[in-house]
């Protein structure tokens, strides 16, 4: 099982390895609009565990430009381990 940790609330939520993080993020208050990776409403900052997320999608590459510590929550899957995010 993987774990998402939300910086702003310190809430820790277990997620199955390979699951999308969209639903959990939405429940924690991350705003969503299109859920297709084109609006950018769900940009999150990964403060720890970036290597535990899936590879950047083409939508993220197109929207974010620099691929560093930001991700689109609607596009990510957590592979394993812990990922700490803030929004």
Give the burial class of 53: count Cβ atoms within 10 A of its Cβ; 0-12 exposed, 13-18 middle, 19 or more buried: buried
Convert the pLDDT of each residue in 44-74 to its tens digit. 999 999 999 999 999 999 999 889 999 999 9
Q: According to the model, what pLDDT value does residue 29 have?
A: 94
DSSP characters for 25-82?
A: HHHTT---S-SSSSS-TTEEEEEE-GGGBPPPPHHHHHHHSS-SSEEETTT-BB-SSE
Q: According to the model, what pLDDT value does residue 66 have?
A: 87
What pTM was estimated for this model as a whole? 0.93
């Amino acid at each position: 099982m993987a774990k998402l940790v939300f910086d702003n609330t310190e809430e820790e939520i277990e997620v199955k390895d390979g699951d999308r993080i969209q639903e959990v993020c939405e429940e924690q208050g991350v705003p969503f609009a299109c859920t297709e990776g084109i609006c950018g409403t769900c940009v999150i900052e990964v403060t720890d565990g970036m290597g535990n997320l899936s590879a950047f999608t083409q939508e993220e590459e197109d929207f974010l430009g620099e691929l560093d510590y930001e991700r689109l929550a609607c596009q990510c899957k957590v592979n394993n381990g812990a990922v700490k995010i803030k929004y």
